[in-house]
């Protein structure tokens, strides 16, 4: 009986073995690559209730929401297909936001989109088809794609300008003037808002680094991997790589940071970071890892130059990956994204600007329109800057006021260029948050028109915001009030100093929100932190000294000496302490804590001392200093 059973199992075992070998050795996934779904034809009318400019995911969500809220809606873009950063920049992985209970925070239209994909990493053409099918189903939604350019139809007022529609140069050369009761700017760079005169900052200017922008990326495609190669990638990242931030699943992989650090680029403006890898249905993979620095995100020529730098680098880079990265030995370059992945550009000034404290203190707002929880991920700004995670929130809200630009009526801004401080945008710029804000914006326009209120009046009304939340919750979102307990660090006596330094991008807590406030502060860390704080705030000092670490514990007298050097005074440490004491500089409570620690400075003490010094000498708020409008 046993021998007969063994013989009976031979053929199925051989079949399963052969099937497994075929699956492992075939290129890529088991699915076929879909054909692109055509967009519906639209007769463009002369006026609409709502115009949405920009068909990135945030714009699609806003337009679909407007149509579902019974608004005649027009979606306009210069591109031929929907999806923007996803389908033209090939950003095929989603930075998901989860609530305290582990469920997806961004429900409604985003979750509707997400549920039609294969997960948080997806085939870009499949994503385009989901967007196309979503808009094609909306009877009240018209499309005007592949336009040459657009600009706002402005009506000047005594207090502010009103955007009453747009002027469009269509692809066939026809100039159209299309009126609207409201306009939503969903372009990546808030182009329409800027053209309407909305003030903004660029990059990291709002915390005193006007020369800094996060790196741009050109996503590239590789072919030549089969499923056995993918198994090797998966096995290495899950079981051999020691980096706890590495990982893989059936559709995506992330890691190989150790290998990436070995790469020597041709240009000093180009670097390789750990690989973010997304599988495509045609058997290819997309790689988000190539960083390009010093790119003016608002200059077409600068972006063209950055693209050229990347194209020059790629043959060398792909050879390196094939040689050094497990599972990639047979890969070949198969193409690059039609557009650069630009992480940030304009950050508009709105009725309220979301701050890093809002994000990391889990702040709720009565006028919430989206929820977020993604870590504050600030990418590298140069070859010597590796980037870092500033902190990881549990949950926070985005207020409607952050979508309402200053100085202009009838206009909302959704997406990465909404009114977020650049550090807060490290979390809030994620696509799920933007799509949630887009859905809320479309519904908010409908409610404002029904109530005959301006967007500002709507945002100022608790009753109307409750009405908006009820409507959005009925439409699949969950925008309920919440109260998240503050992190333990918020109870620390040195938290005010930490917040001051964090707002300047000088304090990093990582994924664990560990700022090390009670650890001894290294001399070099204090010197660097003080120098950068002085520079970024344009503090009222009289000298710019070069300070050196001595190799000992950082003491109170050391800090006194350094402060006096910035005041143009060259005296020994004891006299420096006495001088500052005579000037009334030292805070008594802080001084007592330092003395109790035998005058050795901890990180928390150092942050408090730097804040006290900057405020004592006076400084400029960089968020105000670097505000721009078009033409200045």
Average pLDDT over the chain reads: 93
Determine, yes or no, domain membership for 2. Answer: no
Helix, strand or coil, per DSSP, at residue 429: coil
Residue 29 Rama label (left phi>0; alpha psi -120 to 50; beta): beta
Residue 18 lies in a domain: no
Q: Examine the domain organization and report whether 53 and 202 are in the same domain.
A: yes
> In terms of domains, do 523 and 567 share one?
yes
Do 199 and 260 reside in the same domain of the chain? no
Same domain, 329 and 354: no
Same structural domain, 459 and 499: no
What's the confidence (pLDDT) of residue 31? 56
**What was the pLDDT predicted at 386?**
83
Q: Which of 96-110, 152-166, 308-322 has the lowest mean pLDDT?
A: 152-166
* pLDDT, tens digit, 9 for 90 and up, residues 460-508: 999 999 999 999 999 999 999 999 999 999 999 999 999 999 999 999 9
Domain range for residue 613? 489-617
Indicate if 77 and 147 belong to the same structural domain: yes
pLDDT of residue 27: 58
- The verdict on residue 482 lying in a domain is no
- Label each residue of 509-571 as H, E or C: CCCCCCCCCCCECCHHHHHHHHHHHHHHHCCCCCCCCCCCCCCCCCEHHHHHHHHHHHCCCCC
538 phi, psi to nearest 5 deg = 50, 45
Examine the fold and report which residue of 302, 336, 370 is the final residue of a domain before the chain moves on. Answer: 336
Instruction: Tell me the percentage of the chain whose pLDDT exceeds 70.
Output: 94
| Domains held by the chain: number | 3
For residue 511, what pLDDT is reported? 94
Domain identity same for 496 and 386:
no
CA distances, 262 to each of 17, 271, 415 (Å): 39, 10, 35
Q: Decide if 602 is inside a domain.
A: yes
The pLDDT score that the predictor gives to residue 119 is: 83
**Given this model, what pLDDT does residue 28 score?**
57
51 and 190 part of one domain:
yes
Site of tokens 């557009």: 339
Q: At residue 10, does pLDDT exceed 90?
A: no
Q: Is 483 a member of any domain?
A: no
Distance CA 567, CA 545 (A): 9
Q: How confident is the model at residue 23 (pLDDT cuts 50, 70, 90)?
A: very low
The whole-number pLDDT of residue 614 equals 98
Beta-carbon contacts of 405 under 8 Å, excluding residues fewer than 6 positions away, are 193, 196, 198, 348, 349, 350, 411, 412, 413, 419
Q: CB neighbours (10 Å) of residue 9?
A: 10
- Nearest to 490, CA basis, from 359, 356, 361: 361
Closest alpha carbon to 104 in 415, 430, 358:
430
pTM of the model: 0.93
Examine the fold and report which residue of 474, 500, 515 is the final residue of a domain before the chain moves on.
474
Residue 511 lies in a domain: yes
Note the pLDDT of residue 19: 39
Last residue of one domain, picked from the residues 315, 336, 357: 336
- Do 312 and 366 belong to one domain? no
Are 75 and 141 members of one domain?
yes
Does residue 159 sit in the same domain as residue 68? yes
Is residue 135 within 8 A of residue 128, CB to CB? The reply is no
> For the purposes of burial, counting CB atoms within 10 Å of the CB of 529, is it exposed (0-12), middle (13-18) or buried (19 or more)?
buried
pLDDT band at 385 (very low <50, low <70, confident <90, very high): confident
Q: Using one digit for the tens of pLDDT, what is the confidence trace for 143-184? A: 999 999 999 999 987 677 899 999 999 988 999 999 999 999
Instruction: For residue 5, tell me if it sits in a domain.
Output: no
What b/e string do you get for 389-404 counting C-beta neighbours within 10 Å, with b at 16 or more?
bbbbbbbbbbbbbbbb
What six digits make up the tokens of 457? 């009046």
Closest-CA residue to 192 (of 399, 402, 414): 414
Q: Give the CATH number, domain containing residue 412.
A: 3.50.50.60
Q: What is d(CA 26, CA 221) in angstroms, rounded to the nearest whole number?
A: 18
Q: Is residue 542 part of a domain?
A: yes
pLDDT at residue number 163: 97
Cβ burial, residue 103 (10 Å; 0-12/13-18/19+): exposed
Do 183 and 65 lie in a common domain? yes
Quote the CA–CA distance of 40 and 42 in Å, as a whole number.
6
As a whole number of angstroms, the distance between CA 268 and CA 477 comes to: 46
DSSP code per residue over 297-349:
TT-HHHHHHHHHHHHHHHHHHHHHHHHHSTT-TT-EEEEE-SS-B----EEE-
> Given this model, what pLDDT does residue 244 score?
87
pLDDT score, position 51: 98
């Amino acid at each position: 009986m046993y021998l007969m059973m063994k013989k009976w199992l031979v053929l199925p075992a051989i079949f399963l073995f052969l099937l497994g070998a075929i699956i492992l050795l075939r290129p890529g996934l088991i699915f076929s690559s879909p054909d692109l779904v055509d967009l519906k034809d639209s007769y463009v009318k002369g006026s609409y209730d709502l115009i949405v400019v920009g068909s990135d995911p945030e714009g699609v969500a806003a337009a679909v929401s407007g149509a579902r809220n019974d608004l005649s809606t027009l979606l306009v873009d210069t591109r031929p297909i929907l999806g923007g950063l996803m389908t033209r920049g090939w950003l095929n992985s989603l930075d998901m936001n989860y609530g305290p209970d582990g469920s997806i925070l961004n429900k409604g239209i985003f979750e509707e989109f997400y549920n039609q994909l294969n997960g948080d990493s997806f085939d870009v053409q499949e994503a385009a088809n989901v967007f196309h099918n979503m808009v094609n189903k909306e009877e009240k939604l018209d499309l005007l794609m592949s336009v040459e350019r657009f600009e706002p139809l402005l009506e000047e007022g005594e207090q502010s300008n009103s955007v009453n529609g747009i002027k469009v140069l269509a692809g066939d050369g026809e100039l159209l003037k299309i009126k609207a009761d409201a306009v939503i700017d969903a372009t990546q760079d808030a182009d329409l808002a800027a053209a309407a005169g909305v003030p903004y900052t660029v990059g990291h200017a709002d915390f005193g680094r006007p020369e800094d922008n996060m790196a741009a990326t050109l996503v590239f495609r590789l072919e030549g991997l089969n499923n056995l190669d993918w198994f090797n990638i998966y096995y290495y990242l899950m079981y051999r790589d020691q980096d706890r931030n590495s990982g893989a699943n059936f559709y995506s992989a992330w890691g190989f940071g150790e290998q990436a650090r070995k790469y020597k680029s041709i240009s000093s403006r180009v670097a390789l970071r750990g690989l973010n890898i997304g599988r495509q249905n045609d058997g290819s993979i997309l790689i988000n890892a190539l960083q390009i620095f010093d790119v003016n995100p608002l200059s077409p020529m600068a972006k063209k130059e950055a693209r050229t730098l990347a194209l020059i680098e790629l043959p060398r880079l792909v050879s390196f990956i094939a040689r050094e990265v497990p599972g990639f030995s047979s890969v070949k370059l198969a193409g690059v994204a039609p557009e650069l992945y630009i992480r940030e550009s304009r950050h508009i000034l709105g009725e309220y600007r979301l701050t890093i404290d809002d994000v990391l203190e889990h702040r709720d707002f009565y006028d919430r329109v989206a929820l977020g929880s993604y870590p504050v991920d600030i990418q590298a700004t140069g070859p010597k800057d590796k980037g870092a995670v500033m902190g990881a929130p549990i949950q926070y809200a985005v207020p409607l006021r952050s979508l309402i630009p200053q100085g202009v009526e009838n206009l909302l801004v959704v997406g990465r260029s909404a009114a977020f401080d650049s550090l807060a945008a490290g979390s809030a710029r994620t696509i799920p948050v933007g799509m949630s804000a887009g859905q809320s914006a479309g519904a908010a326009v409908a409610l404002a028109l029904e109530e005959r209120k301006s967007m500002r009046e709507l945002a100022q009304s608790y009753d109307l915001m409750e009405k908006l939340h009820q409507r959005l919750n009925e439409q699949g979102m969950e925008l309920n009030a919440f109260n998240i307990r503050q992190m333990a660090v918020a109870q620390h006596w040195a938290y005010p100093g930490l917040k001051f330094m964090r707002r300047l991008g000088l304090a990093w807590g990582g994924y664990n929100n560990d700022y090390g406030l009670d650890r001894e502060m290294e001399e070099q860390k204090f010197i660097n932190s003080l120098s950068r704080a002085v520079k970024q705030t344009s503090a009222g000092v009289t000298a710019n000294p070069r300070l050196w670490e001595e190799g000992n514990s950082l003491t109170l007298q050391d800090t006194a000496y350094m402060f006096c050097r910035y005041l143009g005074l060259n005296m020994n440490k004891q006299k420096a302490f006495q001088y500052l004491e005579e000037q009334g500089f030292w805070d008594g409570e802080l001084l007592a804590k330092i003395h109790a620690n035998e005058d050795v400075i901890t990180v928390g003490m150092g942050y408090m001392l730097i804040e006290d010094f900057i405020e004592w000498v006076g400084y400029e708020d960089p968020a105000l200093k670097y505000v721009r409008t078009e033409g200045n």
